[in-house]
Amino acid sequence: MVMMEMESYLKELEKQFAEAESKLSSAEVASNPELLKQVAKRHSELQKIMESYGRYKQTLAKLDEAKALQNDPDTEIASLAEAEVESTSAELEKRRRELQILLLPKDPNDEKDILLEIRAGTGGEEAALFAADLFRAYARYAERRNWRIEIISQHETGHGGFKEIIFSIEGENIYSQMKFESGTHRVQRVPETEASGRIHTSAVTVAVLPEAEEVEVEIEPDDLRIDVFRSTGPGGQSVNTTDSAVRITHIPSGLVVTCQDEKSQHKNKAKALKVLRARLLDREIQRQQAEISASRRQQVGTGDRSERIRTYNFPQNRVTDHRIGLTLYKLNQIMEGDLDELIQALFLEDRMGRLKNLQSELDMSRAKLIT
């Protein structure tokens, strides 16, 4: 976004910000909790932009003052001014980029809670053990962020691994932070049962699904086939002696969700429907993304869960994210939940990619106007 276009847009946002501030102090908004929530949210979003815009304008004024002194007859003052112009120009560019990032269109799902599914892939029991390790890493990361976790469904192996585990994470702006974890995670390490010390390569797949509200994904009762059966996994006598497990088949899509962790059939059904709604919403998101894939090539990866996104090499204490070429030699800390550096690098790369994409579209629009 070139600065002239951005200035015009920011002036319009200044008006909207003033209107939002006025509405927050009005009795009509204060007496309507839902409207108050909407206005307060918009005010908060605009406030961040206005604060950034204020910093930009201050830096611009500082640059103009320095430029005015560049031709001062006092050579010492002129020399200092020239150095000031150089440093302030760099600061202004930083402020401009900060503003552009804030003005980027937001993913409508970014503020949502998520369902996170981890499944063992190639590698047998070693893959299942790494699925459990990855679950613990995400759980510890969630604890650091004060997010809440609830296990929806789990299929354990006999050696402490997971063939599959599905869990929800609730908190603030979770999908925006975690969505780049979707994909194939490859692990290279020596299994405990490997006597020769040979390194094995295994893989797990991760799917991060924004949680869907009922109003977003409408499911017709006639489209569902619901089967109940006796739980087969560990969980106490009542779990294994009553028909509490639930399997829901969504007939139009062919999606099947099973939940048997709870003793209550009603609770298992509610959890299974929660997973089904999230998967249906994710399927629609994937369809929309496929339609506009050409305009998203600048972003982090393609969103295709078949692609290998990251490798965890235990002998070298190394993690490599292949989408952005980032390698960190802190695997032990990462598996303890220290994921900030990885996640923030992906988050920033995504924003910078979308910024480049936006600038490219604006350049094309201007070129069409000129011709």
Q: What is the pLDDT at residue 297?
A: 42
Token pair listed for 97: 């980029």
**CA separation for the pair 19, 21 (Å, rounded):** 5
Quick check: 293 pLDDT over 80? no
Per-residue pLDDT, averaged over 321-337, amounts to 95
Strand, coil or helix: what is 151?
strand
Q: What is the pLDDT at residue 11?
A: 85
Quick check: 5 pLDDT over 90? no
The residue ranking higher by pLDDT, 179 or 6, is: 179
Residue 143 binned pLDDT confidence (cut-offs 50, 70, 90): very high
Q: What is the pLDDT at residue 310?
A: 96
Quick check: 215 pLDDT over 60? no
User: Among 25-34, 173-182, 184-193, 235-244, which is the least confidently predicted range?
Assistant: 235-244
**CA separation for the pair 177, 157 (Å, rounded):** 30
For residue 263, report the phi and psi dihedrals to the nearest 5 degrees.
-75, -25
pLDDT tens digits, 345-360: 998 888 877 777 666 6
Residue 121 binned pLDDT confidence (cut-offs 50, 70, 90): very high
Over pLDDT 70: what percentage of the chain?
Answer: 85
- Domain range annotation of the chain: 3-103, 212-293
Residue 204 binned pLDDT confidence (cut-offs 50, 70, 90): very high
Is the distance from CB of 164 to CB of 259 less than 8 angstroms?
Answer: no
Quick check: 156 pLDDT over 60? yes
Q: What is the pLDDT at residue 201?
A: 92
**Would you give the distance in Å from CA 179 to the centre of its chain?**
3
Q: Which residues lie across from 228 on neighbouring strands? A: 246
Residue 306 binned pLDDT confidence (cut-offs 50, 70, 90): very low
Residue-averaged pLDDT of the chain: 84
Q: What is the pLDDT at residue 354?
A: 75
Q: What is the pLDDT at residue 343?
A: 93
Highest mean pLDDT: which range of 43-52, 286-295, 324-333: 324-333
Per-residue pLDDT, averaged over 167-194, amounts to 90
Residue 299 binned pLDDT confidence (cut-offs 50, 70, 90): very low
Q: What is the pLDDT at residue 294?
A: 43
Residue-wise over 41-77: b if at least 16 C-beta within 10 A, else e? Answer: ebbebbeebbebbebbeebbebbeebeebeeeeeeee
In CATH, what number does 212-293 get? Answer: 3.30.160.20
